[in-house]
Structures are given as C-alpha cells and as structure tokens.
Chains A and B, each alone.
Chain A
Amino acid sequence: MKLVVRRFHDGMASPRYDGFELEPRPGMTVLEALFWCQETFDDSLAFHYSCRGAVCGTCAMLINKVPRLACRSQLLPLLKGQLEVSIAPYPAIGETVPWNPQEAVLVEPLPHLPVIRDLIVDMRPFFSFYRYVEPVFRPQNANPEEERLMDPAAVRTLELYTNCILCAACHGACPVSGQNPHYLGPAALAKLYRFHIDPREDGRGVAILRRADVQDGWWGCEMYGNCTIVCPKGVPPRTAIAKAVSALRHTQEKSDRRQNNANE
C-alpha cells in the first residue's frame, strides 16, 4: 500500500504529495505509519503526536478526507473501506490529488487552520476561540473544606461535553469554520455549553451563554452536524449549540413579552 502525504513548508511554491510504500501489519495506525516513513525515508516529515492512545488530542488530521486522530485510525480497515464516514461536503475535502482508496491512505493537514509544515497546523486561532468563551470556573473560596454535591445524572450529561480533548477535528470538519475565520466553532461553543449546564454554576445559566451571543458565536452555526459525526470522543457540539440557541431565544421571548406587557 501507499501512504500519500501532503507536504508543504515555507519556500515551496505549492504543496506536493509524496507516496510512501509500506507493508501494513495488522493494527498499524496512520500515526505509526507516519513514524515509519519519518524514520525510514524522510526525517523532515512533520506531524504532531503525543499519547498515541486517542486521549491527548494532538494528532488530528485529514485522513481519507475525514478529520480524525491519526493514532486511532488503522490502515487496514481504512483500505477495506470500513472507516468510511459520511459528512456534509465542503471545499477543503474536495479532490486535491487522485488517489485509490483501496490501495492508498491519503493524509493531509487538518483543514481551516494555517499549515505550518506538512501535517502541522497552527492551532493558535483554535485556542483563541477557546479563550474567547472564557471556559473557567472561578472558585468562590480559596480553601474549600467541603465538596459540593452533584446529582450523578447531571454528571452523566456533563461528561458528554467534558470529554472533549480539543483536538480540533470538529473545527476542521465544520463548513462554517471553513468559510468564516471568525466563527468560534463547535469546540469552543460546546465548551461554553458545558459551563452553562454545570449545576454548580448556580444562577448564572443563560448569562454564561451570552459570551457567545454574537453573530460569530451560537448564531453562526448552520447545523451541518459534521462536528458531531467526526468527534473521536462522541461529543455532540451540534446538540449543545441547538440547545443554547433555544435557551437564548426563550429568554429573549420572555423578555419581549415582559416588555410588551409593560408597554400595554
């Protein structure tokens, strides 16, 4: 088989695609294949890595035109077509190079973020959206003596969102993020929603959602749902956004009604 990798760095007029021949052994992942290419053929091949166990969120890239973690994507199932994922089309996953999915695995950098070198993208815009939503709990007491109680059912719902590993696969899969570089994107919005539904953030419910109550925030989402499909951790940003939008609309309607009543 061939691993076809998009190569680019400063000074190149345009990207090129390198094909690396290799014998995939059972269980071999795209990440392992990249290491093998780096150590065998070309030590300048650049890609991010850390845990190799799908928990750290470092190695998201576009694999066979789907944003996913390289460490979690195995070559043989990819070649057999077992890992096909259907997502709404957008320009970044259009055809870039001819490739036969039965014989080759195509590896490209995560879309919608500036490419620095080969498969390494600049994550700073992604984390600037994260910082924008101010994802933090500000403890009231510096030396708390007791835990606050939480309903286990509430924890189960929260976990859906705390499971996010900030790999940016959703960002690379979101057609809106591709069009609008200012859109906060599914990861930051889902993160903000996680604070909204935390029962310990008592009384600040909708106020928290206001941080993204802007055109490039909740209202930017067009409900493609690619984010939720590609998330390697099962986080559903689309659901979070839909619920946030509905909560904001609901408060708006209530305040409109109050306004109308007052006017009458």
Chain B
Amino acid sequence: MKAESAAIHHHDVVIIGGGLTGLRAALRIADADLNAAVVSKVHPLRSHSVAAQGGMNASLGNVETADGTVDSWKAHAYDTVKGSDYLADQDAVERMCRAAPTAVIELEHMGMVWSRLPNGKIAQRPFGGAGFPRTCYAADRTGHNALHTLYEQVTDRRIPVYDEFFVMSLVTTSGRCAGCTAFELMTGQVHGFFAKAVLLATGGFGRIFKKSTNALINTGDGQALALRAGARLKDMEFVQFHPTTLYGSNILITEAARGEGGMLLNRNGERFMKRYAPQLVDLAPRDVVARATEQEIAEGRGYDGGYVHLDLRHLGADRINERLPGIRQIAVDFAGVDPVRDPVPVQPGQHYSMGGVDVDCNGASSLPGLYAAGECACVSVHGANRLGGNSLLETVVFGRLVAEQIIRDAPKIPPCDDGPVRAAVLSASSKIDGILRRDGGERFSELRDRLTRTMSKAFGLFRSDREMSEGLAEIGRVQDRVSHISLQNKERALNQALIRLLELKNMLSLGEAVARGALARKESRGSHMRVDHPGRDDRTFLKHTLVGCEGDTMRVSYAPVRLGLFEPEERVY
C-alpha cells in the first residue's frame, strides 16, 4: 500500500472495543459533545459482553430477606473485598458499589428489559460469595439485553463505529498516546486514527488457555497493545476459572444455575461442596468452587473424561424455563442433555481475567492519553478473585467513569500534528507486507496449540514453581518461532489468517506476563493457588504485581494495595 492512500481519521476520542464498556463510554463522551468513535475487530453486537449470562450486582435491596436485613453498598463492598482475597483497592470498590444501583437503573431507562419481581421491581438473585440476593438479571441473557440496549443508543446517536478494524499499534508521541493504527479486515488497508484520548475496552484474554468460556475473539489485544506502548499490566497472574463450564465445549453454565438452587454432585452423587464450604456450599466464590471441583476430579470422584454433575432437575421445568432458558438450550444444543431430565456435565474452565492494564480509579493508565476500562483494565476492583455479577457492573460503571475522566482531560490536550500517526501507518503496513512475504515457515495452529496447552497445564487452577518455570520456557520457545509463521493466503483483503497470527503474537505477550507474575508471587491468594506456597502471605504479598516492558524484556515490580474500609482477615465460607 502506498503512503498517499493512507486513510487518516480524526476523533477526539478513539474507543477500542465495542462491548459494554466501550459503548457505555461512547455514549457518555458523545453526550458531552466530544467526537468519539468506536473501533472494533468485530461488529459491536458480536462482542463477548453479549454472552454474559447471570447478572449485574447492585444493592437495590428489591428482594426481602428472611431476617429483615437490608442490603447496602457497604455490604456489597465487603463481599467484593473478601471475595478478592483482600487484593482489591477498596476506594475503587467503594466507587463501584456506590454507583451500582444508578448503573442498573440507568440501563433500565435506556430500555433494557430486566427480569421482574411480582411487584414489578427489578428481580435479584443470590450469587456466589454474596451476603444478599443482589444480582439483577435478565433471565440468563443479561449481557445480551444490556449490549443490545447500549448498541441501540449508540446507533441512535450516530456514533461512528469502525467495525472489523483490527488495531495494530498505539501511537505515542511526546510521551503521550495520540492515536492508533488499525487494519481494515475487508480491504486490507491500514488506517491511522488520531485522537486526544484512546480508551482500551477490549475485554479479556481467555483464549490463551485451552479450555475457556470466552468467545474465540478474546485474545487480549488491548492489554498487549498497552504493554507494547509502554504502559504496565497489573495482577496478570490472577485468572479466574469458572467451576461450571459445559463438558466438551466449555461454554459457560452460569453461576445463576446454582443461585437458583442447582447443586454440584460428584460421581458418588455426593454434594461435595458441603465439605469445602460448609456455609455457602455451592454458592461459595468461584475460586473455591473451581478448586474443589478440580480436586474431586483429580481424586477420582469425577466422571471419565474429567467432569462432575450440575443437577438442576429438582428446580422443575417451569423454573428452568423462566430463569435459565438459555442454559437449557445450551445444554441441549451442545451436550445433548436436557437439564429438566438429566444432570449437566460440567468442569472448570478459564473464564475471566482479573488482571489487565494498570489504571487508576478513573481509568487512566501510566501513559498519558491512554485509558482502559472493563475486563481489559485492572483498577483493581476484583483483586485476586472476582465475584459473579461484578464484571457486568464494572463495565457500565467504569465505562462511564473513564468517559468522565476523558471529558475532563481532553480540553487540556494541546493540538499536535498527525505525523507520528502517518509514520505508524507506514510501519504497520510494512509489517503486514513482511508477514505476507514469508514462505515455508511455521504453522500457526501448531504454535497456538502449544501456547494454549502450556497455559492450561502450567498456569491452571493449581500451580507450582517447577511446572510454571517449564511453562515460561516453553512460551519463550514459541515466541522465538512465531516470527517464522508463514501464511498460504497472501492477499491483504479479508485475510483472517493474518488477523489470527497478529492475535497470537498478542496472546504470547500476555502468556508471558501471566507467567512472570505467577512465578514471582510465592503465595496463594484467590485464584492464584501455589501448591508449593499454599498459604496467603500478607506480610510479603499484599501488593499488586506490575509487569512492564523494557525493550524486549518484561520486568516485574509491585505497588501497594489501598485498604481503608476492611482489614484483611481469614477467608472462610
């Protein structure tokens, strides 16, 4: 491609990612009369937010409790902090929990259809690790309803969306982020985007693991872009494994299935969670239930192939159809099991990335002009383990908050010329030419499979120094080989193999960041369980892990955790 044909776009704010966070931020920014554009590698409605099932936490207190106690933002904050194994920053948690009821009501007024109680109020259900029925829901399609609602609003405001644009690099100049380059899938052209602020809202990186509930597109592009541009990643070793993913395809079976009364049973028909979490049983937080499930399987009390049963039969067809219709359909379609008649085969699988781009309470990263929110960011509100129902909440709360910070910052940005963006377009374009010129090299699928197998084996639910060291070495070997991958398809337009190769490079950076963080954290906390360091060590490790790049080398450092509301205590459920 010639330089003259480069397409350069000017916007006040470029939002990378069109899921709940990106769209919520776009609305707020557009309402402040700033020119925002969404750039996404898929159509916004195909974002992984659409797959969120169970719900969104907010202390509305719509459901009366047996003992007459009333939910509050502080109770929500306590559950979140305890669930995080005390690694969450409590000022951030406070902001999120205080803003939660407003966020839910705001969506309702935008037209989102929530499930309702007989009195007409928004329905709430119990979720793992929560002291109250706090999770607002739309059957088991909460993410779908929320995303379609926000997309309707974005469409109505005519906010430009560049869909099927794969962002290749962030552009930095004079120490700040001034835009990005993006490869347009349909044409093969590289575009330059010039902006006062760039917001990363690209979601998680679950696809670096072999078994994940995530959409196939969740390759952590935003985190990798930030790292390459000089920003830091935080707490990357904390990866959530969901206890109930459908055996075979690892499609999510929502925690709401247990919230509605579903029970986990081992092959002896035993409700094994009673042994691991006598009080909350099946509704203990995800890290606890996932490890227990994995242990049952490892000790021979699972079924052949490695799964246990999630029994919903006692709920009856009516309740299943009303509250969990999507789950019933998923089980029928993908496992050939009807939960009304048979238990559902489930096993733990990667589900969520607690870590992400290191940002402050307002979503600003350490690189001026670069912001991040949602799953791709780490504020941190989830610490070492996220509670179910808090991720959807984070998307809309921090989508709005980061937008407000950008609205405050943008007028202060001095104008600068778009030379660096033009240069970055040329550089991205020649990078693509270079890839397309290579012949007879490595195969993409072989290297991707090596990475995902390694991540699952060495950085799964139970970790040890020996396995992780081997894993890190293997990641290094794959990194050495990835620049030799060659593609058969030499065309620029609609070359999906090219996109997947670029994604794999991002995935490898994140794999290494997870590995380095996990190796250095010689304790067990939340989702990070070291069999060689089984206890939590607050004296040494009550701190955030930071990973930054110096040249090609990743370096680990630490930052303090902000306490303030609740002192760390033993975590018992």
Binding site for B on A (CB under 8 A): 9-10, 27, 38-40, 42-44, 46-58, 72, 116-117, 120, 123, 130-131, 134-152, 155-156, 158-159, 162-163, 165-166, 195, 198, 200
- Give the chain A neighbours of B31 by CB distance below 8 A: 142
Is B495 a contact partner of A136 (Cβ separation < 8 A)? no
Is A55 a contact partner of B51 (Cβ separation < 8 A)? yes
Q: A149-B119, A149-B121, A162-B145 are in contact. Are A55 and B110 (CB under 8 A)?
A: no
Is A27 a contact partner of B248 (Cβ separation < 8 A)? yes
Report Cα–Cα, A143/B102, bound state, in Å: 8
A233 and chain B: residue at smallest CB distance? B329
Report Cα–Cα, A166/B248, bound state, in Å: 27
Is B46 a contact partner of A51 (Cβ separation < 8 A)? yes
Is B106 a contact partner of A56 (Cβ separation < 8 A)? no
What would 19 more interface pairs be, CB under 8 Å, given A117-B494, A163-B141? A27-B334, A39-B445, A50-B47, A51-B50, A54-B330, A55-B326, A56-B51, A58-B42, A136-B153, A137-B109, A139-B109, A139-B111, A140-B109, A143-B102, A148-B108, A152-B120, A155-B116, A162-B148, A165-B144
A140 and chain B: residue at smallest CB distance? B109
**Leading 9 A-B pairs by shortest Cβ distance:** A137-B111, A149-B120, A44-B489, A43-B497, A136-B156, A39-B445, A50-B46, A139-B109, A53-B251
Question: Quick check: is B444 within 8 A (CB to CB) of the other chain?
Answer: yes
Question: Quick check: is B333 within 8 A (CB to CB) of the other chain?
Answer: yes
Choose from B42, B155, B249, B494 the contact partner of A53 (Cβ within 8 Å): B249
Binary interface encoding of chain B residues 111-125 relative to chain A, with 1 for a CB under 8 A from any of its CBs, else 0: 101111111111100
Binding site for A on B (CB under 8 A): 31, 42-43, 45-48, 50-51, 60, 102, 104-106, 108-111, 113-123, 138-139, 141, 144-145, 148-149, 152-153, 155-156, 186, 215-217, 248-249, 251-252, 322, 326, 329-330, 333-336, 443-445, 487-489, 491, 493-497
Q: A43-B444, A135-B152, A159-B113 are in contact. Are A56 and B496 (CB under 8 A)?
A: no
Please list 13 pairs of residues, one from A and one from B, whose beta carbons are closer than 8 Å in the complex, sorted by A's number: A27-B336, A42-B488, A52-B216, A54-B330, A56-B45, A56-B47, A56-B51, A136-B155, A149-B116, A155-B116, A158-B113, A159-B139, A162-B148
Q: A52-B216, A55-B326, A165-B144 are in contact. Are A200 and B116 (CB under 8 A)?
A: no
B41 and chain A: residue at smallest CB distance? A50
- Give the chain B neighbours of A156 by CB distance below 8 A: 322
Q: A43-B497, A50-B42, A137-B111 are in contact. Are A150 and B334 (CB under 8 A)?
A: no
Is B215 a contact partner of A51 (Cβ separation < 8 A)? yes
Most B CB within 10 A of own CB, among A10, A53, A145: A53
Q: A136-B153, A162-B145 are in contact. Are A150 and B444 (CB under 8 A)?
A: no
Report Cα–Cα, A150/B50, bound state, in Å: 23
Report Cα–Cα, A247/B545, bound state, in Å: 61
Nearest Cβ distance between residue A26 and chain B, in whole angstroms?
9
Is B46 a contact partner of A152 (Cβ separation < 8 A)? no
Report Cα–Cα, A211/B322, bound state, in Å: 32
Is A134 a contact partner of B48 (Cβ separation < 8 A)? no
- Give the chain A neighbours of B155 by CB distance below 8 A: 130-131, 135-136
- Give the chain A neighbours of B111 by CB distance below 8 A: 136-137, 139, 195, 198, 200
- Give the chain A neighbours of B116 by CB distance below 8 A: 149-152, 155
Choose from A55, A141, A152, A198 the contact partner of B109 (Cβ within 8 Å): A141
Report Cα–Cα, A120/B48, bound state, in Å: 20
Nearest Cβ distance between residue A76 and chain B, in whole angstroms?
10
Q: A158-B113, A165-B144 are in contact. Are A53 and B51 (CB under 8 A)?
A: yes
Is A162 a contact partner of B113 (Cβ separation < 8 A)? yes
B486 and chain A: residue at smallest CB distance? A43
B215 and chain A: residue at smallest CB distance? A51
- Give the chain A neighbours of B109 by CB distance below 8 A: 137, 139-141, 144, 148
- Give the chain A neighbours of B334 by CB distance below 8 A: 27, 53-54, 72
Choose from A42, A120, A140, A141 the contact partner of B494 (Cβ within 8 Å): A120
Nearest Cβ distance between residue B149 and chain A, in whole angstroms?
8
Q: A136-B156, A198-B111 are in contact. Are A43 and B489 (CB under 8 A)?
A: yes
